[in-house]
Amino acid sequence: MDVCNSQVENMDTSDVPWCWFYLAECGVWHMFDNESSHQLMISHKIEEHYRNNGGGTIILFANQCEYSLNLSEMKLTNKTTGRQCSVKRAPYRLTTFRYICDNVSIPVPSHWENVTDEPYQLVPLHPSTHEFHEVCNFLRKTSNESVKEIARIQNTYLWECFCRKKRQMCKLKRVIDIEEMKLFHGTSLNNLRDICFLNFDPRLHGSNGTLFGKGTYFARDASYASKYCKNTLQNVMSPHGGWYQPRIVFLARVLVGDYTTGRQDFVRPPEKQHTPIILYDSCVNNVKHPNIYVIFDSSQIYPEYVISF
């Protein structure tokens, strides 16, 4: 029986060594790390609870996040973000243990459409779709801008880089998940193609200041990011009718991870105190109430949508 593909096993009382796995974003079952710090409930602890109780809920903590493991529904929930993944119980085999799977193909998000071999695709969202309303409502939490158009960016190479970076960060920190946020970045229409094709480039810093480090800047609030949208004299025809001169913001997935206050001279995140070989993942304007994030590694970013005003 293949551990990575087997179904959830029923509770039993045999002496078979059982372990617990969670379904990662890459589509592969990863075992709860048996060498984690005291913050993370390891696999045999989960097994002990399961054998004694047969179900119920376990609360565990990792990377300053609280998780709820429902053993009846076999679901692991990040209580901060609400994101869920499936878990399962299966026999332990050394040959089937995988934590980081660089040779495994990473599936594209299930809502992507008609994916081709093109470097990237810009897929306009129809205003009647749930996806359009979801993005629009997220933007309207922090902005009153009138949305003209939303397009989904489908770039398989950048998506794979982002997923592999996330798994690498999880492995280095020995955690289940890394803090990921949806953040805004305002820019000129002239940069649209390069960002969709090559991603944001932290080396091209400085056009709008470097107060918190020489990296790519993102904002929690769309209203703040829209200040950096540069007007264009180029008339563009909307797929839904009419002409307009667009201003654009990107809505990106960003692995902010562990952050600290930035400084103008930073070219990378600083080292953590007492851990000279371990760096912070990003910088912010205010650690207690951050609304500006600076990223120095483009693989921590996936540009997911471009929104036109």
The Cα 106–Cα 25 span in angstroms is: 8
Domain that holds residue 59: 18-96
Q: Over the chain, what is the mean pLDDT?
A: 81
Nearest C-alpha neighbor of 304 from the set 150, 145, 144: 150
Tell me: do 128 and 81 sit in the same domain. no
CATH code of the domain covering residue 134: 3.90.228.10
Arithmetic mean of pLDDT, 112-129: 93
Tell me: do 28 and 88 sit in the same domain. yes
pLDDT digits (tens, 9 = 90+) for 206-246: 555 689 999 999 999 999 999 988 766 565 655 555 556 78
pLDDT recorded at residue 33: 59
Residue 284 lies in a domain: yes
Residue 101 lies in a domain: no
Sign of CA dihedral 180, 181, 182, 187: negative
Q: What are phi and psi of 286, to 5 degrees?
A: -155, 115
CATH code of the domain covering residue 75: 3.30.720.50
**Distance separating the N- and C-terminal Cα atoms of the chain:** 54
Tell me: do 77 and 160 sit in the same domain. no
Domain count, the chain: 2
Q: Are the C-beta atoms of 242 and 207 separated by less than 8 Å?
A: no
Q: Are the C-beta atoms of 232 and 190 separated by less than 8 Å?
A: yes
Tell me: do 196 and 67 sit in the same domain. no
Arithmetic mean of pLDDT, 147-174: 91
Q: Could you tell me the pTM of the whole model?
A: 0.69
Arithmetic mean of pLDDT, 261-283: 89
Tell me: do 166 and 271 sit in the same domain. yes
Tell me: do 243 and 293 sit in the same domain. yes
pLDDT recorded at residue 237: 55
Residue with tokens 């040959």: 95
